[in-house]
Structure 1
């Protein structure tokens, strides 16, 4: 069960094809050509949902129930959409900060992937307003906490 437009099987608006995004395989930056299926869908959250879905489908030894995590991603997406100081571009950047936090929490702050994503986001968010930067920091901390919880509950499996 997936909510708030996150997860697998969403169709690209105005077409008959399903969305196939790959933020994990692309740079974490603007202009990557990755677009969300709906006008309000956040690409980074949808990509994280896809990774969770795949992890649940591929777990053969100990099954991982990813439904609660997918529901949680829907709640995070709604929370980001409601954040007052953020415009559309800043909301996507906020979602990327959450994504980076989850990766850092699940893989460890010192992992190469976590540092790479984090460094890229620092460059992108350099011109953000102070209230937006505060939102980014809160979401990154929340993502880090959620990533640690996921890693602990799933036997320290890595998302990427």
Structure 2
């Protein structure tokens, strides 16, 4: 497969994923056009106690595991695009990105800012980084791994797109 085709198969799902990430974290309650409107939903809460919801008995599996799953691809993409061999720096990048998302939720009043989300997002990203490194170890060829990830991410993007279209049509 040509390198240009692989890059298209990799970048297209990455752009889709970033949009999906923004939609699920920043714009699940308010559209990007409404962020600066005075007549919109506004929620500004902050939780600085890790796993406080679980301690309080408000355990939400979807919230906890959803954050982990949502950030696994980011760990893989950061490993590919940053080409940084230092795992700690890649994990730190994930944590900073998560911190920026959580800060934006608070600043713009578009969701609940929670330190638990930063922790679970970082765990998800670390799983993605680990997964990428396992692929490199198994296949011993970075270009081959990039092809595999490009094809898989493109197929996943198609499946998610179909599901989203189905949800939109059903509603």
Higher strand content, 1 or 2: 2
Greater RCO, CA 8 A, separation 6+? 2
Shared topology, TM-score over 0.5? no
TM-score by length of 1: 0.30
TM-score (ref. length: structure 2): 0.29
- Max radius of gyration: which structure? 2
Give the structure with the larger helix fraction: 2
